[in-house]
Amino acid sequence: MSATLCVKLQRNQGWLPLIQSVRHGSKAVTRHKKPVHILKQKLIAVTQYIPPARTVPPGAYPSEEKHVQEDNEFVLLLKKNLEEVFEECKMIAVVQTNACSVDDMLMLRHRLCKHSIKIRFFPNQVMRSFLSNSVYSNMAPLFIGPTVLFVSKEPKVKEMMSALRVSPQMTLLGACIDNTLLSSQGVVSYAKLPSLTVVQGELVSGLTMLTSRTAFMLQRHPAHLSALLQQYIKQQSPDDGAEATPKAEEAS
Amino acid sequence: MISLIKAAVGGLTVISRTHGLQQAPLHSYLKICAAGLKTFPVIPDYSNVVLPEKPKLKFLNKVPNLKKAKKERKKLRDIQGPARAANTFTCGQYAIVAMGGGYLHWGHLEMIRLTINRKIDAHTTFARWRINAPYKPITRKGLGQRMGGGKGAIDHYVTPVRYGRLIVELGGKVELGEIEHVLTEVAKKLPFPAKVMSRESLEEMHRKQKEMEENNQNPWTFKQIAQGNMMGIRKVLSPFDLRNNGRFTGKFHFPGRV
């Protein structure tokens, strides 16, 4: 305040600050925090505590080295059973049981038992450890969740599909039939195929029909045969070979 | 005792399991209800606890018995920084610990004494003062008196308390849960932030502070900068800051600093 008066007198002397702070001595204040000097504030901000990076708690990640689990006797027995199943059975279907009650399972088992198809239960862990060492290792992805095996010594796919149609809570995932891995679609198309004896009969009948036809032709009148041969030569000529073929077939 | 009960329960489950299997091999989903069984925690061992003859808090004099009472200066230093005395447990298990500096009046001490003596069970618990009776004189000028004329007369006495000092210590055949509410009730009324702590939690606090100092990832520490007088920072730092590494400002404590 007193400085303002001085400014008027000493205008030409140079610039002086208009307001000058007056110090009143240090006060012994204990009620509140004293305002901290800006440099000290900066120092405190710079020297904040920085905690070390969080260490990973033990057990958060699986251990690096694979611990080899000793198989107990029961697991070994199950594996032996599995080996027998895969050796004996020609059809091994993997089916997922979604909320299948005991009664449903009993009915299904009964229905499948008529066609000598058995239902076998194996733990997935045992299954996977068995499959990883066998030639059927490609089946391993099928064993997720509650799964059962339908096994039979003969590939009775049709009967199995008809039994599965009645129980919708069972979902067919895939099957290994005659050492061939089939998807569920593949199994369905397999079931639509006619049986082996029918196909063999068709083949035999087709083969015999050709020979019988030739014999029949030879037994006919020679004039008819010569006419047919003439027409065949005519068809072989490059002009109208393509068009005449269907006609010749009709004629024969 | 507990092992006996466990064995009995285990035997029961085994029996029920085998029974279920025999009856219905397909429906072997048997649920075992364990309701009503409870394992109680082990009772703490108080065999080596010795209760003193006078378990209650002693009455503290309002005014020290001096031949000649002398006026003193303000001496704010006696509440600044960490406590150098009575900052660890001696005989008790639980205590009220000051988390800042301040002055305790005789009224505060009476409040502490009456509350604790009334609420604790003297047969199982004892309490001990960890502070002295008021000894620091505070002067006041009389009412309506004009300024000047020298320093006023001694009005009352106070007890200065620094950060980390134990005020009252409790012990005996009790757990913290039994007396915590009494101590928190008292701690709330003190003129500085105070906390109820047990022997273990105080040790834990010291350990944590030490660990923080060791594992600080900040390359710039207060101590290093202040001692090296980097960029002339000592201009704004006091010897008090040098001693405490910026963990205190006056009677206040900055938590979380190293």
- The reported pLDDT for the residue numbered B31 is 61
CA distance, residue A109 to nearest chain B CA (Å): 13
Percent of chain A with pLDDT over 90: 16
Chain B residues within an 8 Å CB radius of A52: 215, 217
**CATH of A73-192 given 3.30.70.1730, 2.70.70.10, 3.40.309.10, 3.30.365.10:** 3.30.70.1730
What does DSSP assign to residue B143?
Answer: T
Which chain B residues contact residue A51 at CB under 8 A?
Answer: 212, 215, 217
In this complex, do A47 and B225 lie within 8 Å of one another by their Cβ atoms? yes
**What does the pLDDT average to over A93-99?**
88
What lies within 8 Å, CB to CB, of A26 at 6+ separation is none
3-state secondary structure of B197: strand
How far apart, in whole angstroms, are the C-alpha atoms of residue A72 and residue A126? 11
Q: Which residue has the higher pLDDT, A245 or B42?
A: B42
- H/E stretch holding A90 reads none
Which domains does chain B show, CATH number per domain?
47-199 (3.90.1170.10), 218-257 (no CATH)
Chain B environment of A43 (Cβ under 8 Å): 222, 225-226, 233, 237, 246
What tens digit of pLDDT does each residue of B53-101 get?
A: 999 999 999 999 999 999 999 999 999 999 999 999 999 999 999 999 9
Pairing of strands B153-161, B166-172: unpaired
What's B82's DSSP letter? Answer: B
User: A177 — phi, psi (to 5°)?
Assistant: -115, 125
Determine contact, residues B194/B115, Cβ cutoff 8 Å: no
Residues ≥6 apart with Cβ < 8 Å to A221: none
Average confidence (pLDDT) over B24-48: 72
CB contact under 8 A, B222 and A43: yes
Q: What is the pLDDT of residues A78-89, one digit of tens each?
A: 999 989 988 888
Spatial distance between the Cα atoms of A244 and A127, rounded to a whole number of angstroms: 63
Radius of gyration of chain B (CA): 28
Q: How many CB atoms lie within 10 A of CB B93?
A: 19
Give all strands (DSSP E) within chain A, no chain letters: 91-97, 118-120, 147-152, 170-177, 180-183
B249, B250, B257: residue with CB nearest A49: B257
- Check pLDDT > 50 for residue A244: no
B235–A39: do the CB atoms touch at under 8 Å?
yes
Helix (H) or strand (E) holding A88: helix A73-88
Residue A11: pLDDT band by 50, 70, 90 thresholds?
Answer: low
Q: Which of residues 63-82 of B touch A (CB under 8 A)?
A: 74, 76, 79
Rounded distance between C-alpha atoms, residue A235 and residue A231, angstroms: 6
Q: Does B5 have pLDDT greater than 70?
A: no
CB atoms within 10 A of CB B35: 5
Q: What is the pLDDT of residues B186-196, one digit of tens each?
A: 999 999 999 99
The mean pLDDT of A46-59, rounded to a whole number, is 89
What pLDDT sits at residue B12? 46
Q: How many CB atoms lie within 10 A of CB A104?
A: 16
* Length of chain B as a residue count: 258
Judged by CB atoms closer than 8 Å, whether chains meet at B233 and A39 is answered as: yes
**For range A119-146, the mean pLDDT:** 87
pLDDT at residue A222 in the model: 81
Looking at beta carbons, which residues of chain B come within 8 Å of A34?
249-250
Determine, for residues B74 and A28 on separate chains, whether the beta-carbon distance falls below 8 Å.
yes
Q: What is the DSSP letter of B232?
A: G
B258/A102 Cβ within 8 A: no
